[in-house]
Amino acid sequence: MIIFRVRSEGDLVKALKKAVEVLESGGLVVIPTETVYGLAAKMDYAEKVYEVKKRPKTKPLPVQSTLSEVEELGEFSDLAKELARVYWPGPLTMVVKAKTKIPETVTAGTEKVGIRVPKHEFAYKLLEEVGPLVVTSANLSGYKAPKAPEEVNVQADLLIDMGPVGGIPSTVIEVSGNKVKLIREGAIPFKKIVLDIIEL
C-alpha cells in the first residue's frame, strides 16, 4: 500500500490527483473524513470493499456524495431534504430509498442506501473530481473504526495520511416520509436531531 502524507497545500493537490487515478482504475483508497478514515471505491467496484473488509455481503455499503449529486442517488422526502439542509455537509448518514444509479452490490438487495455528504476538505474535493463513492470505515469488520492512519487495518492501493481526524463515526438514521428511525448513534446526538425536527 502506498502512503501519501499530506502536510501542505501542494501535497493536497498531488494527493487528490493520485487518489483520482487509483479510483478511476478500479482501485481502493483510504481517505480522511471529519469522522474516521474511510475505505473508498467507485460504486462499480463495491465487491472489492466487501472482500477487503471481510464484510458480510448482506450488509449494505454507505455512499458519500457532493451536495449537487445526492438527489441522483436516493429518494428524499421533504423531511429528509430539510435534515440535509441542516446537517450536510457533516457527520449524518441518511438511509433512503435508492435510485437505479446505485448498484445492487451497494444496497445488498435492500433497495435502500445510506448517503452522507462529508465536511472534510479532501473527501469533498475528491467527490467533486470522481463523483459518488462507496466509503466505509477503513477497518476489518468487527474492529474499531480508525481515527488515525496507523489504526487502519485493511489493505488498499493508496492511503492518504492527513493525521488524526475526529474519531467519532457519523450518526445513521433512516428517513421514510416523515418518519425517522435511529440506526446508529454517532457524532450528532439523536436527541438533537429529534429536537431540530420539531422546530422544522
The mean pLDDT of the chain is 96
pLDDT at 91 over 80: yes
Number of other CB atoms surrounding residue 150 within 10 Å: 10
Give the HSE-up count for residue 75: Cα atoms under 13 Å, Cβ half-sphere: 9
What does the pLDDT average to over 65-91? 97
Among candidate residues 163, 183, 149, 155, the one with its CA nearest the CA of residue 41: 155
User: Which three-class secondary structure state does DSSP give residue 115?
Assistant: strand
Rg, the chain, Cα only: 16
- Using an 8 Å Cβ cutoff, are 15 and 160 in contact? yes
What does 78-96 look like in DSSP terms, one character per residue? HHHHHHHHHH-SSSEEEEE
User: What percentage of residues in the chain have a pLDDT greater than 70?
Assistant: 100
Task: Please count the structural domains in the chain.
Answer: 1
Residue with cell 490527483: 17
Residue with cell 473508498: 40
Among candidate residues 92, 90, 91, the one with its CA nearest the CA of residue 174: 92
pLDDT digits (tens, 9 = 90+) for 152-199: 999 999 999 999 999 999 999 999 999 999 999 999 999 999 998 887
pLDDT digits (tens, 9 = 90+) for 41-52: 999 999 999 999
We report the CATH number of the domain holding residue 11 as: 3.90.870.10
pLDDT digits (tens, 9 = 90+) for 105-128: 999 999 999 999 999 999 999 999
| This prediction's pTM | 0.96
